[in-house]
Structure 1
Amino acid sequence: MIKDFFLLCAGVDQNLIKKCSNGEQNKYAGIGATVFFTALMATIACSYALFTVFGNIYTAIFFGILWGLLIFNLDRFIVSTFKKRDSKRQEVLQVIPRLLLAMIIAVVISKPLELKIFEKEINQVLLTEKNLMTLDNKTQIAQQFTPEITNIEAEVSALKDEVAAKENEVNNLYETYIAEAEGRKGTKLLGKGPVYKEKREKHDAALKELSQLKTDNNEKIKAKEATITNLVQQQKDTESKTQPIISNFDGLMARINALNKLPWLPSLFIFLLFLAIETAPIFTKLISSKGEYDFKLENEESIVKTWIQQQVHQRNAILKTDIDLNEKVYADLKTEEELYNYKQKMARNLMKLQADSFYKNQQEIL
Structure 2
Amino acid sequence: MNNFEKFLIFCSGAYLPLVRRCPASINRFMGIGATVLFTAIFAGLAVSYALSTVFSSFWVILGIALIWALMIFNLDRYIVSTLKKQDQFFPEFKQALPRLVLALLIALVIAKPLELRIFEKEINRELDEQRLATIENSREKIAAGYPEINELESKIENLRAGIAAKEDFRNQKQVEYDQERFGVKTEGTTGLAGIGINAEKKEKQLDQAEQDYQYTQKLNEGRIQDLEEEIRRINVLKEQEFQNQMVSLDAYDGLAARLQAFRDLMLKNTAIYWANWMIVFLFVMIEMAPILVKLMGSRGPYDQLLDFHEAGIVLTGEEQWYKKSGDSAVRKEVFDGLYDKRKARRVDFELGMLGEK
Identity of aligned residues (%): 34
Give the C-alpha shift of residue 157 in structure 1: 5.6
Q: Secondary structure at the match of 1:336?
A: helix
Matched residue type, 1:61: L
Mapping 1:1-366, distance limit 5 Å: 1=2, 2-21=4-23, 23-85=24-86, 87-145=88-146, 147-156=147-156, 219-260=222-263, 261-262=265-266, 263=270, 264-337=273-346, 340-341=349-350
Moved more, 324-333 or 100-109: 324-333
Q: CA RMSD in A?
A: 3.6
Asked if 2 retains the 8 angstrom alpha-carbon contact of 1:333 and 1:339, the reply is no
Change (3 A) 1:54 1:315: same
Question: Structure 1 residues 89 and 219 mapped into 2: Cα distance closer, same or farther (>3 Å)?
Answer: same
Larger radius of gyration: 1
8 A contact 2:49–2:113 mirrored in 1: yes
One-letter identity of the residue aligned with 1:27: R
Give per-residue Cα distances to partners, 1:102-129, cap 9 Å, x unaligned.
Answer: 1111011111111111122222222221
Q: CA deviation at 1:316?
A: 1.9
Quick one: distance in 2 between partners of 1:258 and 1:53? 16
Cα distance in 2 between the residues matched to 1:256 and 1:122: 9
Q: Output the CA distance in 1 between the equivalents of 2:157 and 2:127.
A: 43
Tell me, in whole angstroms, the C-alpha distance in 1 between the residues paired with 2:77 and 2:216.
Answer: 91
* 8 Å CA contact 2:53, 2:255 repeated in 1: yes
In 2, Cα distance between equivalents of 1:288 and 1:166: 100
1:166–1:290 distance in 2 versus 1, CA, 3 Å: closer
Q: Which runs of 5+ in 1 are unaligned?
A: 169-190, 192-203, 346-366
CA distance in 2 between partners of 1:340 and 1:155 (Å)? 130
Letter in 2 for 1:11: G
Partner Cα separation in structure 1 for residue 134 and residue 335 of structure 2:
89
**Deviations along 1:123-176, whole A, 9 cap, x unmatched?**
22222212211211111111122x0112333455666788999999xxxxxxxx
- The change in CA–CA distance for 1:313 and 1:130 in structure 2 (over 3 A counts) is same
What SS does the aligned partner of 2:54 have? helix
Please say if residues 79 and 99 of structure 2, whose CA atoms lie closer than 8 Å, have aligned partners that are also in contact: yes
In the TM superposition, what is the alpha-carbon distance from 1:208 to its structure 2 partner?
11
Structure 2 vs 1, CA of residues 230 and 331 (structure 1 numbering), >3 Å: closer, same or farther? same
* 1:290 aligned counterpart, secondary structure: coil
Give the aligned length.
314
How many angstroms apart in 2 are the aligned matches of 1:252 and 1:20? 48
